[in-house]
């Protein structure tokens, strides 16, 4: 509370008395009209307040996005493979590349199709709104199909992309993540594991870092894939993580590849300070 000096208090009291006299002189009908206008103005005030927060307190602002006609180069499937995890369950992965340097897809909808020996469809998995992916300009992305139950072992897998909207975006910041102290191998009488220290080598807070882990054999064939998420990584923070495979890996693992990604197409993907992040999430809860 601000304590006003005596002179200011007297001036304030004089103003209050003056306003009271003016209000008393206002005709009753006009006073009622003004009161109604003030009541109707409250929702507008709330909307303006929300707009203020939206403009000034939303942290990272994604690059401007302009939807364009689908005349872009098609996404390229660099690799696709399925894996058995026992009990008639199979999962699959695909490595997808976007050859367009200035075009992105904000919601990437796709289908995984497990096929039989004659190419017939045995099982189809379709991504939903909540499981759809995205892809940034010039980015390579890893798509995963969760375990699916089949009575007949599949012979192959293919990936189809449903209708997706291409968006032209301005330059996107390049984020850098470093992985150190990598260890991997089958634990004694236990599952295969990979552990490492992930370092956020950026001046930003990253609320959600999506991380795909790929295992390769000596022929550079993918023999295992897994996925995890690291939350709220501070600038230049190093964090230990450990990922387990539910079934043994077929073949000897020669090296491990980490594929980190952050969805820079949406607000709230990175922040420059904790206060900025707190303001953003406060706004989301309103």
Residue 188 phi/psi, 5-degree rounding, is -60, 120
Q: Under a CB-based contact definition with an 8 Å cutoff, are residues 144 and 92 in contact?
A: yes
pLDDT of the residue at 2? 35
DSSP H helical ranges for the chain:
6-25, 28-56, 274-284
pLDDT of 62 reads: 72
Name 92's bridge partners: 82, 145
User: What pLDDT is stored for residue 22 in this prediction?
Assistant: 52
Nearest to 109 by CA among 80, 85, 138, 143: 143
CB 76 within 8 A of CB 67: no
Q: Count of CB atoms within 10 A of residue 215's CB? A: 22
**Contact status, residue 230 vs residue 238, Cβ threshold 8 Å:** no
Give the separation between CA 269 and CA 141, rounded to whole angstroms.
17
Cα separations (Å) of 243 from 67, 213, 232, 252, 257?
A: 38, 9, 18, 18, 13
Q: Can you give the pTM of this predicted structure?
A: 0.74
Check residue 33 and give its pLDDT: 53
Burial class (CB in 10 A: 0-12, 13-18, 19+), 21: exposed
Q: Output the pLDDT for position 57.
A: 45
For residue 101, give the H/E element and its range.
Answer: none
What 3-state DSSP class applies to 7? helix
Q: Cα separation of 254 and 3, whole Å? A: 72
Each residue's pLDDT, cut to its tens digit, for the chain (286 residues) gives 333 344 454 455 455 545 555 555 555 555 455 444 444 444 444 444 444 444 444 456 677 666 656 578 999 999 999 999 888 999 999 999 999 999 999 999 999 999 999 999 999 999 998 889 999 999 999 999 999 999 999 999 999 998 788 998 877 778 999 999 999 998 877 889 999 999 999 999 999 999 999 999 999 999 999 999 999 999 999 999 999 998 888 889 999 999 999 999 988 999 998 888 888 877 777 7
């Amino acid at each position: 509370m601000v304590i006003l000096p005596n002179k200011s208090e007297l001036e304030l009291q004089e103003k209050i008395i003056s306003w009271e006299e003016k209000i008393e002189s206002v005709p009753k009908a006009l006073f009622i009209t003004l009161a109604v206008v003030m009541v109707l103005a409250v929702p507008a005030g709330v909307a303006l307040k929300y707009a203020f927060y939206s403009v000034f307190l939303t942290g990272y602002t994604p690059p401007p996005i302009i939807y364009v006609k689908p005349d872009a180069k098609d996404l390229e499937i660099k690799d696709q493979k399925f894996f058995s995890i026992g009990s008639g369950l199979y999962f699959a992965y695909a490595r997808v590349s976007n050859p367009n340097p200035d075009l992105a897809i904000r919601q990437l909808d796709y289908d995984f199709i497990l096929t039989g020996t004659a190419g017939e469809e045995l099982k189809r998995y379709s991504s939903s709104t909540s499981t759809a992916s995205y892809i940034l300009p010039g980015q390579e992305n890893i798509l995963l199909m969760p375990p699916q139950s089949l009575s007949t072992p599949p012979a192959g897998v293919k990936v189809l992309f449903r209708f997706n909207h291409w968006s032209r975006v301005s330059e996107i910041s390049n984020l850098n993540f470093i992985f150190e102290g990598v260890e991997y191998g089958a634990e004694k009488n236990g599952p295969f594991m990979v552990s490492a220290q992930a370092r956020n080598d950026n001046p930003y807070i990253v609320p959600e870092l999506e991380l795909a882990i790929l295992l390769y054999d000596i022929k550079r064939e993918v023999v295992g894939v897994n996925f995890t998420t690291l939350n709220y990584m501070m600038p230049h923070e190093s964090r230990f993580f450990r990922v387990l495979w539910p079934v043994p890996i077929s073949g000897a693992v020669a090296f491990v590849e980490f594929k980190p990604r952050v969805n820079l197409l949406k607000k709230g993907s990175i922040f420059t300070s904790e206060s900025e992040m707190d303001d953003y999430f406060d706004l989301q809860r309103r």
